[in-house]
Amino acid sequence: MTSPAAYSLRPVRESDHDAVGAVIEAAFGDEGPEVSSLWTEVRQSGYVLAELVAVDARGDEVVGHVGVSHAWLDARRELVDVAMLSPLSTRPDRQEQGIGTTLIEAAIEAARATGRPMLCLEGSPFFYGVRGFERAALHGLEPPSRRTPEQAFQVVLLPGREDWMTGRLVYPDVWWRHEAAGLRDPDLAHLEELFAQKFKPLD
């Protein structure tokens, strides 16, 4: 059995692109090819702020990946450059070894290094909520789509964030072309039902 510590992180190299695509496809199952295609287009569009891989310590084989890319916050005073985390992928045979958690921690630090005031994501609060993220609505932040359940829109506030930085997150057009903002039925309905059982609406 592979030791959970038998991997290390490093920035993505151009030679890693195919391996990254394969890890994303494996991690996302039926949606994998679409998510991989989306991330390739994000990369080609110049929106990537940081991209990291977890590699097997024995052979530099890519077993995990995280991307941090550009978005905007449409605040009342001005448009603010912010960071977003997506996608996060761990090869299925290497899951539950701490790789995802380590990649999230590295993504937060990478976002901090950009000087952007926050790192946002759409994802499971049960997973990300114990890894540094909190409900974005607590800080006056709105998701880019009404199809994003409030509980799924999360944020890590970073140095430089000021109280006036509230409003709606705006994705670059590539995310909309791939219909990658929010969820559609039946996934949306399922999550709304799940969250209704677990969370109370914010006052």
For the chain, which residues make up each domain, given as ranges? 7-198
Neighbours of 86 (CB within 10 A): 21
Mean pLDDT of 4-29: 94
- Domain 7-198: top CATH class: alpha beta
Neighbours of 172 (CB within 10 A): 17
Q: What is the pTM of this model?
A: 0.89
Position 199 scores a pLDDT of 66
Mean pLDDT of 118-127: 94
pLDDT at residue 180 greater than cutoff 90? no
The model's pLDDT over 49-68, given as tens digits with 9 standing for 90+, comes to 999 999 998 888 999 999 99
What one-character-per-residue DSSP string does 127-169 give? HHTTTT-EEGGGGTEE-SSTTS-GGGEEEEE-TT--TT--EEE
pLDDT band for 2, please (50, 70, 90 cuts).
very low
Position 202 scores a pLDDT of 61
pLDDT at residue 73 greater than cutoff 80? yes
Q: How far apart are CA 103 and CA 10, in angstroms?
A: 10
Q: Which amino acid is at 136?
A: A
What Rg value do the Cα atoms of the chain yield, rounded? Answer: 17
Tell me how far CA of residue 134 lies from CA of 30, 155, 172, 187, in angstroms: 28, 6, 23, 22
Mean pLDDT of 70-89: 98
Helix, strand, coil tally for the chain in percent (to 5): 40, 30, 35
Least reliable range by pLDDT among 11-20, 33-42, 95-104, 181-190: 181-190
Percent of the chain with pLDDT over 90: 78
Q: How far apart are CA 71 and CA 85, in angstroms?
A: 10
Tell me how far CA of residue 128 lies from CA of 11, 31, 38, 152, 183, in angstroms: 22, 20, 22, 9, 18
pLDDT at residue 186 greater than cutoff 70? no
Neighbours of 126 (CB within 10 A): 11
Angle, CA of 98, 13 and 57, to the nearest 5° = 40
Mean pLDDT of 148-173: 95
Q: Which residues contact 123 (CB under 8 A, 6 or more apart)?
A: 86, 88, 133, 152, 154
Position 81 scores a pLDDT of 98
Q: For the chain, give the mean pLDDT.
A: 91
pLDDT at residue 189 greater than cutoff 90? no
Mean pLDDT of 140-152: 91
